[in-house]
Chain A
Amino acid sequence: MTGNEIYRANISEVGRMTARRFNVSGKMLFTWLLLGGLILLFSPESITDKLQLGFAGIFRWPLTAGRSIAPLTATNSEPLTNNVSRQEYDRLQNHLDNVIEQLYQERQKVESLSNLKKVKGIDNRFALEGASLVPAGIINSNMNNLTNELIINRGSDNGLEIGQFAMANNSIIGKISAVSEKIARVKLVTDPASSIPVLISLNSGKHIEAILKGTGSNKAKIDLVPAKNKVETANKIYAAKQPGVLDIPIKIGEIKQCRRLDENPLLWNITVKTACNFENIRDVAIIIMNPKP
């Protein structure tokens, strides 16, 4: 017996031993895999997020390439009107609404300052003056009835943190929900797990506070608004100020439909149309209010 034959015989013997050792029944195999699935299901999101972001990070190139091909196959291209695309029109409209809202906020500040002239140390910076906007490209999007998320190509290396707001077309689209060094996930305002404090700008000029909740499939709603408030279709919705995260309200969308709740007619059931069409966006910007030097 040559050395080569002895080697082959040893290898095949090891193979047979391994096969005997791992020769489990179908039921046992199923039980083990089921147990593995359950462990995965109830693992903390901080661990499982890393797996998903890791996959997106490793395969970012084919995923981005696929996204750039996708518009060619999609049928929801938007018509041009008056030589300005709908997307550009929406972007400018959102900017105008944000400026109007900022004007309103500045007026409020002037009124409060006129009443508090003697108070020193009042912060009189302009909105977003100290903020930095980090542009990011979209690696992948996940839009269905269970989840509405974007994977972007910026991470903690670029100063991103969980809870920061993401903008597109001059409107708020969501918040950072998970972050790794080079990749982050944006949970859109329409995600069923999303819940964001907002302001509803009424036609009377009054602002009322509410909570915007995502319902999946590019939709969001607002509940628990008392019916005594005169809420109407096309009223603007703004993300409410959050100290250290968002210093000025920025537009999210507008009311598409409002009707009384069936269970309680004293409350509104409001459906919100987002200011930005999430399926068409290619780039986003993350708002970092107080960037580290």
Chain B
Amino acid sequence: MRWFRFAALILVITILQTALINSMPINPNLLVILMVFFAIFSDSKDAIITSFSIGLAADLIGPGMGTLTLSFGLTGSLLAYLNRTIAIKKMTHQAVTIFIVTIAIAFIAHFLIMIKSQITAENIYTSVIAPAVYSGIIGPFVFLPVAWWMKIKHHSFSGH
């Protein structure tokens, strides 16, 4: 793993996400897409580290420190573990994975915020679905430039 490239990528994506994409009508979660990418295409240890690191970056622009670090870390580590037995290579599988992971992260984060500050947000179901769909659709295409930047071999278009 090229950690300097990884750090630069996360920094740029975090700023892009908070400054630009969150205020757009179509707002995919690029940090979740990145987390899924590294969980699929890295070895287990790197996947765990990247999941928690991306979660920490999401926390810096999120509702409160710790919630997204844990939800990204738990989900990314589980995905990396599952990826050892179920290979997620096809684009459609990747899109579905991103969709499910986005929803899972939102629910875990919501649960942790409830524990931490006794706050319950309304209409969580509706507000989670749209970004999950956008992330699922855009995600597999974002994998290509990320794989190029990280110099990771990526065969999603081959269908194998």
**Which A residues lie at the B interface, using CB under 8 A?**
26, 29-30, 33-34, 36-43, 45, 48, 51-52, 55, 59, 62-67, 69-70, 73-76, 140-147, 192-193, 215-217, 219, 279
Contact = CB atoms under 8 A, between A and B. Distances in A.
B15 A43 contact: no
Nearest to A192: B119
A139 to B, nearest CB: 9
A178 B70 CA distance: 23
A42 B69 CA distance: 12
Contacts of B65: 40-41, 43, 48, 51-52
Q: Looking at chain B's contact residues, is the secondary structure mostly helix, strand, loop, or mixed?
A: helix
Contacts, number: 133
Contacts of A145: 121-124, 127-128
Contacts of B63: 142, 144, 146-147
B10 to A, nearest CB: 12
B73 A37 contact: yes
Q: Looking at chain A's contact residues, is the secondary structure mostly helix, strand, loop, or mixed?
A: helix
Given A48-B65, A143-B22, A26 B48 contact: yes
Interface of B: 15-16, 18-20, 22-25, 44-45, 48-49, 52, 55-56, 59-67, 69-70, 73-74, 77, 109-110, 112-113, 116-117, 119-124, 127-128
Nearest to A51: B65
A49 to B, nearest CB: 8
B51 to A, nearest CB: 8
B66 A43 contact: yes
